[in-house]
Structure 1
């Protein structure tokens, strides 16, 4: 059987309320699932109308022991946590202006490239995000 879709991905964040404020309040994503599993909070967000969820995962149990969790937190805060996200927009330049006005850190201004027009930002924790406007095939 072939793989048919990518339904869930994850990115490390260091604080759930701050992550919700950024991903939902600033970027306009929606909460997909918010469940207390006892051993962790399963908190996902998604672009409006999309079915792919992004798990906003805190470093720690059950995936990490305390020492490893601290190392992951340190790497994430340096922008070296290994995670990144890519979103699309129908108006890259307009969205860029909105995000700049909200104080979002821009790492790469809008540019036209072979694959479309995009720009880069960081979330409050150091994770890289690309937002692009891609031509239809």
Structure 2
């Protein structure tokens, strides 16, 4: 028996704004765009990890009004869990992401525990970290 991660969800305020960041900044590819009423779930992926999808949706997508309101509050505070990506060219990807105009939290540095990494906030305030493979 084996197991693998298929989807990871990132809650965002504006799906279209988030697509531009994750596609143009991080280089992910839009694989699926599913609408249901006023909500959308957009799946992005990368050829380096086929079968793994990053799903973008707004705080109320698939949730009750009360739960969506709580998710919106947590998103506004910037306290939702971070997402960490790895790359073989941290400096190059850092510059590509910085060019999108998002907030830089940490420029690339060698960490005492090993990896070289950097950090950003996506357009919705989610912390995104990039590590050098």
Category of TM-score, reference length = shorter chain: 0.7 to 0.9
Aligned to 2:31: 32
RMSD: 2.0
- Distance change in 2, residues 1:42/1:99 (3 Å): closer
For the residues of structure 2 that align with 1:121 and 1:59, how far apart are their CA atoms?
20
TM-score (norm 1): 0.82
TM-score (norm 2): 0.84
For the residues of structure 1 that align with 2:61 and 2:130, how far apart are their CA atoms?
31
Aligned to 1:60: 60
For the residues of structure 1 that align with 2:59 and 2:28, how far apart are their CA atoms?
22
Runs of at least 5 residues in structure 2 that lack an aligned partner in the other structure: none
Aligned to 1:106: 104
**Structure with larger RCO (C-alpha < 8 A, sep 6+):** 2
Number of aligned residue pairs: give it: 131
For the residues of structure 2 that align with 1:100 and 1:39, how far apart are their CA atoms?
31
For the residues of structure 1 that align with 2:130 and 2:32, how far apart are their CA atoms?
23
